[in-house]
């Protein structure tokens, strides 16, 4: 039986970074390298599994009990974020962490510091897995993948373990907001499911942001600067002016909890043309709609000031707060709370300040809260995950399965 650490390290070695510029699914063919591997490994463990044309791996473990109980699913995404390099990952294993700084040896003078990330001190004495400073780690969400596969390994090698029907799902492209756009909930066959895609140990989430993207184009007018008076329209400056119209206090670095934000994520321009983009987020649907409307009003203001056609915006909704879909099925959340308590974990129920495949799945008719995968500092070179958190997440999966089968693990 493969140890969960070895499994996790093997998965993060596969480059699966998704590509937001691509229109295909999966958005990057390299995601299929890990998806094929997972499908094959499930089959080798005796699980009926398939990989479809859209990059979805679906597996099914039949019930081994006589009672009729709900089919429960566990889902994780294989892609890593476009925000930092994801190829040639070189993890560092820090055993019996002493509470000090951890040098990231791939970059001179770069360290993971408790003074900057004080939550590191919660994990003194544990085994931390970090990056070497040159890439992200990929615990988001390969920790979740490893946790699910470790639980499957336990189930298939312990026939005495009582369980109902268990469904397994692995998806591409979650990091670019397209993870389950074509996911067939009926084919998957679960009554309820959980994404293993949260942060630190104990997190349990059934509320997430409403989310939209806004792409803005500014058309300027370039004239030789020596003869530009009254003629030039510098698109870079106009774009900066539009950005300054948005409330500073609604930038992500000034928000927390249920506070939403407008986050500029890219900016590329010349005097003639500039393109930039935002993500718009809020838990409250009414505030979310107002944020989108205000961006549109800013575009209108620029066009009134500089002439029609100066600014154009394309604003698209990405996903919605799954709270409304989970509230009629709160027993799904209650099961997760009980499963964590059985594992000696104090649940931390909180809103996701981000998104999850579970949001779109919930609106597709599959109630799907989000459970911790254990990682911290996602999407960057400071990412790390405690091994003990990964182990606890796998234990929680088995506890949930046992609870649905009517018998504690």
79 and 140 in one domain? yes
- Name 272's Cβ contacts closer than 8 Å, sequence gap at least 6: 219, 220, 221, 222, 235
**pTM > 0.85:** yes
Domain span at residue 36 reads 4-207+321-404
pLDDT score, position 409: 41
Q: How many domains does the chain have?
A: 2
Which residue among 293, 319, 345 closes a domain?
319
300-341 tens-digit pLDDT: 999 999 999 999 999 999 889 999 999 999 999 999 999 999
Which residue among 265, 290, 319 closes a domain?
319
Q: Which two tokens stand for residue 187?
A: 């084919």
Asked if residue 409 belongs to a domain, the reply is: no
Look up 174 and say whether it is catalytic.
yes
Domain of 83: which CATH number? 3.40.630.10
Signed CA dihedral, 353, 350, 16, 113: sign only = positive
Domain of 277: which CATH number? 3.30.70.360
List 15, 31, 41, 79, catalytic entry: 79
216 and 196 in one domain? no
313 and 178 in one domain? no
200 and 240 in one domain? no
Q: Which two tokens stand for residue 261?
A: 């934000």
Which residue among 319, 343, 372 closes a domain?
319
290 and 261 in one domain? yes
Neighbours of 64 (CB within 10 A): 14
Asked if residue 35 belongs to a domain, the reply is: yes
List 174, 203, 282, 395, catalytic entry: 174
Q: State the DSSP string of 42-93.
A: HHHTT-EEEE-TTS-EEEEE---SSS----EEEEEE--B-TTS--SS---EE
Q: Which two tokens stand for residue 213?
A: 């993207």
Neighbours of 324 (CB within 10 A): 12
Average pLDDT of each block of 10 consecutive residues along the chain (409 residues)? 96 96 95 98 98 98 96 98 93 98 97 97 98 97 98 97 98 92 97 96 95 97 96 98 98 95 97 97 97 98 98 95 94 97 96 86 96 95 98 98 80
pLDDT score, position 407: 64
d(CA 148, CA 196): 8
Beta bridge partners of 276: 216, 267
């Amino acid at each position: 039986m493969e140890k969960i650490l070895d499994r996790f390290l093997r998965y993060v070695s596969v480059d699966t970074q998704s590509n937001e510029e691509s229109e295909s699914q999966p958005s990057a063919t390299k995601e299929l390298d890990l998806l094929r591997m997972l499908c094959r490994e499930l089959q080798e463990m005796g699980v009926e599994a398939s990989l479809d044309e859209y990059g979805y791996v679906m597996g099914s473990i039949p019930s081994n009990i006589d009672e009729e109980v709900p089919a429960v699913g566990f889902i994780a995404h294989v892609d890593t974020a476009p925000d930092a390099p994801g190829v040639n990952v070189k993890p560092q294993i820090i055993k019996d962490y002493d509470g000090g700084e951890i040098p990231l040896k791939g970059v001179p003078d770069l360290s993971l510091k408790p003074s900057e990330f004080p939550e590191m001190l919660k994990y003194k004495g544990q085994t931390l897995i970090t990056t070497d400073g040159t890439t992200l780690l990929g615990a988001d969400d390969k920790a979740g993948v490893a946790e699910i596969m470790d639980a499957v390994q336990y189930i298939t090698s312990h026939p005495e373990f009582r369980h109902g029907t268990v469904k397994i799902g692995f998806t591409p492209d979650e990091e670019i907001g397209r993870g389950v756009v074509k996911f067939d909930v009926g084919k998957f066959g679960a009554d309820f499911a959980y994404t293993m895609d949260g942060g630190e140990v104990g997190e349990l989430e059934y509320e997430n942001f409403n989310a939209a993207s806004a792409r803005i184009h500014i058309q300027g007018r370039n004239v030789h600067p020596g003869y530009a008076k009254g003629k030039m329209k510098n698109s870079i400056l106009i774009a900066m002016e539009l950005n300054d119209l948005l409330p500073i206090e609604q930038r992500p670095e000034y928000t927390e909890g249920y506070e939403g934000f407008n986050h500029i994520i890219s900016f590329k321009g010349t005097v003639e043309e500039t393109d930039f983009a935002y993500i718009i987020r809020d838990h409250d649907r009414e505030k979310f709609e107002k944020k989108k409307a205000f961006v549109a009003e800013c575009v209108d203001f620029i066009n009134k000031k500089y002439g029609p056609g100066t600014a154009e915006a394309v604003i698209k909704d990405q996903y919605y707060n799954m709270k409304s879909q989970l509230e009629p099925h709160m027993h799904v959340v209650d099961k997760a709370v009980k499963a964590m308590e059985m594992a000696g974990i104090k649940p931390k129920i909180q809103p996701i300040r981000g998104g999850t495949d579970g949001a779109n799945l919930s609106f597709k008719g599959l109630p799907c809260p989000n459970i911790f995968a254990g990682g911290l500092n996602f999407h960057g070179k400071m990412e790390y995950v405690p091994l003990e958190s990964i182990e606890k997440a796998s234990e929680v999966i088995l506890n949930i399965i046992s609870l649905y089968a009517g018998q504690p693990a």
